[in-house]
Structures are given as C-alpha cells and as structure tokens.
Structure 1
C-alpha cells in the first residue's frame, strides 16, 4: 500500500468545520432543552430514525434512483480487474460494482462502510474516458470509501435534519396549542423557531463546505493510489466538457444525486459556489497540478 498523502491544511479545515458544527449543535440542544417540549424530542427521535434508514439503505436507494445494476466479473471483467488492482493498492476490500445506463459521464460511491460499499460508473463515462482516466476516477471513488465519507456526512447532517423538521413543523402546524398555551408559550416557540431556522441555514452551509473539503481529499487519494494526479485532472476536464453538452432535461433528472457524483450535474448556467457540494473544476485541477509538482521532487 502506498503512503497516504496528508494535506494538513485540508485536514485542518475539515476539523474546523466539524468543530463549528459541533458547537452549533450544542447551542441548538441547549435551546431545545430550555424551551422545547415533548413534541420536540419526539421529532428528534423521528429524525434520528429517518437518518438511520437513510444510512443503512443509502446504497440501494442511490442505485435505484439512478437505475443502476450490480454487474458480475463475467459481465465487466476489465472493470472488475481495475477495481481489484486499485483496492489492493489502497488496502481496501473490493466493493460491489454497478453500471448505470446514462448519457451523463459520471461515477459515484455509496454504502455505509468499507465492507458494504458500491462503486458505480455510467456507460457514458466508460466510453468517454481513457483507461488511465477511468482508473483515476475509480480511485477517487475508492478514496471516498476509505475516508468513510458517507458516515462523516450522515453524522454531520443529523441535527441539521432535526432543525429542518422543526422549522417545517412549526410553519405548517403552528407554534402553539390552545389559547392559554399559546399565550404562555408563544415566546418560547418563537425562540425555538428562530434558533431552528438559524441552525438549519448555518449547518447547511457548513455541511456544503465539509462536502467540498471531502472532494479535495478524495482527489488527493486518487493521486496517491494511481501515482498520477494528471490523469484525474484530465478526466475532470473531459467530464466537465461533455457535461456542458448534455441536455438540461437529462441533467435535471439526476440532480438529486449531485452530492454523490465526481462532478455535479447542474442544469443552470450559474451556481453559487457557496451552495455547491463540490469545489469548482478549476480549483480541483489546480490542486492536482500542485500535487503533480510535489511528487516530482
């Protein structure tokens, strides 16, 4: 196994983001404890159950939503051989491999652990990329598995989901019960609503930032596994160029999977980087070029 490349600046940003999330959620729990009622705790239990279902069945849901299917070694011998070789280098158990019949060149990894992971590629990706580029993309997805990104993002998003449910519950069902309860609890309800809304918005932005850092980490993992950062940079440019020619209707159909993709499928002409799950392609390529220069010495 090759020595895993450590980018301490990137790791520091990820740790800082997690600490900010932890601090935000601690404040949120204090407010709920002080002003929330029994219904609030029930809502938290419901949100926890919802996220557990998402966590344990995310791989099946992701494949189902994309129309992907698990393929055997007999069906895709070259793909299986490539993944097996990369897993040996990365010291990973071999994941299941899936193919998605799509004209959008992309790949994604899902699964709650290294032993239950699935790596999927689209038919368009196989057609558009050279073998070295395809290997670099597969190594990127395997890096997500090695870094346990599904676990990290699920944990980070737990109380954000609770806050979202609280906001929606209060908007649609009101903030109080009878007249007496309403008069007595209006102030507490407003506090919970405002704090929940703030937690939801701030955590949404922090989780997006965390997701972008994880993409940089997976890019670096790909460079370590393959030893060739330029191949992933080339693959990103190829995928990005093809994506621009894909009809907007096709992109909109898979936008819900953007957090999983190596490059998000975006139907609009402009997206604010602040809300994106991924860094810009240009930023990722510059980081890979920097790694290429460091590896030369």
Structure 2
C-alpha cells in the first residue's frame, strides 16, 4: 500500500510541477490560445509515462522467467539447490522481507538478478555459470546483493524514476512539436490540426529526449548498485562481497547473456556499454567503494 501511494503521489507531484512551470512561462496560455488542449496533454503524459513503467513492473517476474528460461525451485533436487533455498530464506529473514521465489537459469556467464512488483512478491535468480564457477561464500554474497535490491525497494524506485522521465519526454516532445509546427504554419489556417512539422518534430524529440532520459535512469541505477553491494556485505560479510566482485571482474570479458531489458537487474553488466548509459558502475569502482567503506560494513 505504501508503494502504491508513493506511485500516485509522485504522479500527482510531476503534474503539479509541469503545471506550475508552464504557468510561470505562460506556455499553458499560449498553447491553449493556439488550439492545444494543455490539460489533456498533461494528463495523457502522466498516464502514458507512468502507465508503461508500472505495467513493466507488474509483469517483471513473468517477463524475467520467460526471457531467461529461469526454472523456479519448488522442490530442491540436489544439495546445491537446497543450500540456495536455505541461504535466500535466511537472508530474506534478516532483511525483513518475505521469502522470494528462487530460480536458476541456464547461462555460462556468472550472473544473477532480482525482480518483482514489491519486496514481498519478488524473484531471485542465479545462472548455472554462477553456481559452477564461484565459491559458496561468493555466491552467498551475490545473493545478499540481490536480496538487498529487493529490501531497498529498488525495482519500485527505478520504476518511479522511469515514470518521471517518461512523462517529461512525452510532454516536452509534443509541446516542442506544437511550437515548431506553429512557427512553420504561422498565418495559415490551423483548423486541420497539427501538420507534418508536428509529427516529425515529436518523432525526433522523443528519440533525443529518450536518450537523455536513459542517462538519468542509468545514473540512478548505478547509485542503487552501491547500496546493494553494501547490503550484500552486511548480509554475507564484506570479505565475501569483495571476493564475489573480484571473481565477476575476472569473468567480465565474457559478453552478458541476459536479455537487454534485464541487464539493469543483474549483478554485473556486459562490456561495451557507454559509461553514461551503463546501469552498473565499473566493477573496480564498486570494489574500491567497499574496500574504503567504514567499519559499519564488515
């Protein structure tokens, strides 16, 4: 309920901010005087901006299982799966969340991710490569990192951030499109509505603003990774968390096999991603951050 309230409150706050800014600049009066329904655009921007982000969050577990082929462990078939379930259960209890679903997906790359609509309805999945190439202590730290993502509410936080930037992209691209079209058609009869200038400008601006929005979301994602590393160190131990990151760094030259939409949820990201668009900080930076952390993280 708290998360739903936060989603609604953020949506309302964004609409108020856009309304105030437009009013101060006189943009609302100009658009209304020139035939654009400013209020309808504002409402539609919020609905489409947050609606898409919220739907993605709602189906995130289903999508994760489908795209990675993750198999949820309902009945452990060996000692490794039993250990996996027991470790996640212990860490979830320590983090104060409900037991997540635990799954394994087939991939030679050492990786893991957490997803779900809320901290009490979530999924933690690890790759076969992670289980085969890492020591048990290192896997424990990776699980602690993912449990911390859930306990910190990172899935909802990033959804809110994505919803905010989506709203701005949708709104601004159409306002700019309308202004450009008005300039190109000044003196002409506007009864037929916006012309080709509007459509082309909206298309171009959504691409350009979308790139900027992606950088904003990626920056927030990188900050959440530092918090999850600290959480993993708290749940499993600082030494284990550092060892896990060092192991991942050694395997980092392997390309990520997670689907593109899942990379932000993984423990590491494949190479070749421009720094501003990377959802994870460089592994050496994360290792240094943990090594330089105070005594609160042991």
With normalisation by structure 2, the TM-score equals 0.74
Distance change in 2, residues 1:104/1:110 (3 Å): same
Question: Deviation of residue 184 (structure 1)?
Answer: 8.9
Distance change in 2, residues 1:94/1:209 (3 Å): same
Quote the residue 1:239 is aligned against.
248
Question: Deviation of residue 41 (structure 1)?
Answer: 3.7
Is the Cα–Cα contact under 8 Å of residues 163 and 197 in structure 1 kept in the other structure?
Answer: no
Quote the residue 2:221 is aligned against.
211
**97-106 vs 196-205, which moves further:** 196-205
Is the Cα–Cα contact under 8 Å of residues 92 and 146 in structure 1 kept in the other structure?
Answer: yes
Distance change in 2, residues 1:283/1:23 (3 Å): farther
Question: Deviation of residue 81 (structure 1)?
Answer: 0.9
Q: How does 1:196-275 map to 2 (within 5 A)?
A: 200-226=210-236, 228-244=237-253, 246=254, 248=255, 251=256, 254-266=259-271, 268=272, 271-275=273-277
Question: Deviation of residue 40 (structure 1)?
Answer: 5.9
Quote the residue 1:98 is aligned against.
103
Quote the residue 1:287 is aligned against.
289
Alignment partner of 1:134 out of 123, 139, 146: 139
Quote the residue 2:48 is aligned against.
46
Distance change in 2, residues 1:29/1:87 (3 Å): same
The separation in 2 between residues aligned to 1:224 and 1:98, in whole angstroms, is 23
The separation in 2 between residues aligned to 1:207 and 1:218, in whole angstroms, is 17
Is the Cα–Cα contact under 8 Å of residues 219 and 288 in structure 1 kept in the other structure?
Answer: yes
Quote the residue 1:72 is aligned against.
74
The separation in 1 between residues aligned to 2:98 and 2:191, in whole angstroms, is 57
Distance change in 2, residues 1:59/1:232 (3 Å): same
Distance change in 2, residues 1:196/1:101 (3 Å): closer
Aligned length in residues:
263
- Matched residue of 1:99: which SS? strand
What are structure 2's unaligned runs of at least 5 residues? 1-9
| CA RMSD after TM alignment | 3.7
The separation in 2 between residues aligned to 1:204 and 1:136, in whole angstroms, is 29
Q: Which has the larger radius of gyration?
A: 2
The separation in 2 between residues aligned to 1:255 and 1:196, in whole angstroms, is 20
With normalisation by structure 1, the TM-score equals 0.74
The separation in 2 between residues aligned to 1:25 and 1:252, in whole angstroms, is 41
Alignment partner of 1:153 out of 158, 178, 190: 158
What are structure 1's unaligned runs of at least 5 residues? 1-18
